[in-house]
Structure 1
């Protein structure tokens, strides 16, 4: 049974995309927590050692190798920042955050070049603007998402990723161009619809439709270097985000689970890039939000990040 469990774990790691999504969203649910199969491998290893089962130990080599291939790189230490690297911070600040000023100060304490925020509400927005103004004089706020920058922003405006089923005012994405010392970089901030867990399974159709619109916008972006920051309400393994993840690079190092903040189980707050590397991703201390903020090190590739 131990050997069979090891083989089954390996099959899930290697062929998780074959698990149907239409069965109550089972495929997306599995992919949201796929890294945690490493704990299954460790548990089976302990049982195999306890039983002194050579067959089980040999069988465990397969899922152990697969997990290491998929996620081992995320455990590597943080690289030293380079002279052209940018630091960015991404945070869903929560529309119920009782301390927006403290949250803003905590995010600015990481000394990022860019700060992306979601779930900005009218009552808290002036507090964020006032607290961040001195160090981040350039900003763009579109609906409930915002971008603060140390570098000038141009071409800032809303990005339409609203699913067809939503009829009310719904502005949860923006695009701007940051004029960094290393060239112009297109910056996208997005907050995709939530995935709801119901008795019938996972409801993700709006999230998936919005991801498709975001993916097409990124694909059509004329500037070579692109940074995407946002609460995408899905992990990078979730095939529902494939329109985005297939066009962007995710973090090379760092698990950085962000949700829920009280006991993080998955990273649904993402930093991705095109023609650049997200060389490291880490969580920052908890704020008044139910998400943890993340800070990422972005390493642009090649020459100037222009058109």
Structure 2
């Protein structure tokens, strides 16, 4: 007698958001990179933007942040990930500081989560200039295990190629995973090929422009998924940041109830 096929694993929907928050600054035109250059060193106006970001993040289960300030002059010495976690009601959060300019400015990746991670790891990424990293969270166990990584890649293609090679090696053994962040390149850029070749990750089904936020033309911010079903994928404004955020709903595996 042939063995009965195993029933399909149960899943549940989770809402994920990836956002480059520009350290809480607001930019609505190219000229404001000059006229509002003071916002890169002073905290004025950032609390209002952070409150808007917290309201944006609140409906989501997991939020990956890039350019989150860990506490410097420009953020009013506030750890922005901590502030957003508290305001958005996230019980778990982690911040990976990657770059600091004295006490004037700092930047890094962060994760806000309503799920308790089984493990949190952070890695520095290779590159011609130091200051980039990836924050890796692991959820579930056994058949329900899956990984979520948050990153922000370099501006230069040669550095991105090194960084993507590192990420491809790091994530190569994960059967179910998500890699989100500001990649500073399109999802079909030549340097992205190693990532698709060596991991389960696949490019998004459609090109969604995210930069600049006031007139999106370039596809720089992505949520790449492997081994999980995507229900929805869209770009949404991120409270004045020069990047649009990317919102995704996924089906992730859940533990079977004990009988």
TM-score by length of 1: 0.61
CA distance in 2, matches of 1:139, 1:95: 17
Choose 1 or 2 for highest CA Rg: 1
Corresponding residue to 1:84 among 6, 12, 21 = 12
User: What's the counterpart of residue 239 of structure 1?
Assistant: 190
Task: Give secondary structure in 2 for the equivalent of 1:235.
Answer: coil
Structure 2: distance between partners of 1:296 and 1:103:
19
Contact 1:284 1:293 in 2 (8 A): yes
Q: Counterparts of 1:147 and 1:176 in 2: how far apart (Å)?
A: 8
Does 2:122 correspond to 1:161?
no
Q: Residue 101 of structure 1 aligns to a residue in which SS?
A: helix
Unaligned runs of 5+ in 1: 1-81, 196-203
Residue 172 of structure 1 corresponds to 133
2:112 to 135, 143, 148: 148
- For the 8 Å contact 1:259–1:291, the answer to whether it is kept is yes
Q: What RMSD in Å do the two structures reach over aligned CA positions?
A: 2.6
User: Which protein has the bigger helix share?
Assistant: 1
- Answering whether residue 194 of structure 2 is matched by residue 230 of structure 1, we say no
Consecutive unaligned residues of structure 2, counting only runs of 5 or more, are 1-9, 26-45, 98-107
CA separation of 1:89/1:290 partners in 2, compared to 1, >3 Å: closer, same or farther? same
Change (3 A) 1:152 1:96: closer
- 1:237 deviates by 1.5
Q: Identify the residue that residue 92 of structure 2 maps to in structure 1.
A: 138
Q: CA 1:142–1:131 in 2, change beyond 3 Å: closer, same or farther?
A: closer
Q: For this pair of structures, how many residues does the alignment match?
A: 207
Contact 2:21 2:238 in 1 (8 A): no
**How many Å separate the matches in 1 of 2:94 and 2:179?**
15
Corresponding residue to 2:50 among 92, 98, 101: 101
Report the secondary structure of 1:85's partner residue. Answer: strand
Structure 1 residues 282 and 274: alpha-carbon distance in aligned structure 2, compared to 1, 3 A threshold = same
Say if 2:81 and 2:112, in contact at 8 Å, map to a contact too.
no
1:239 deviates by 1.5
Q: What TM-score do you get using the length of structure 2 for normalisation? A: 0.71
Q: CA deviation at 1:220?
A: 3.5
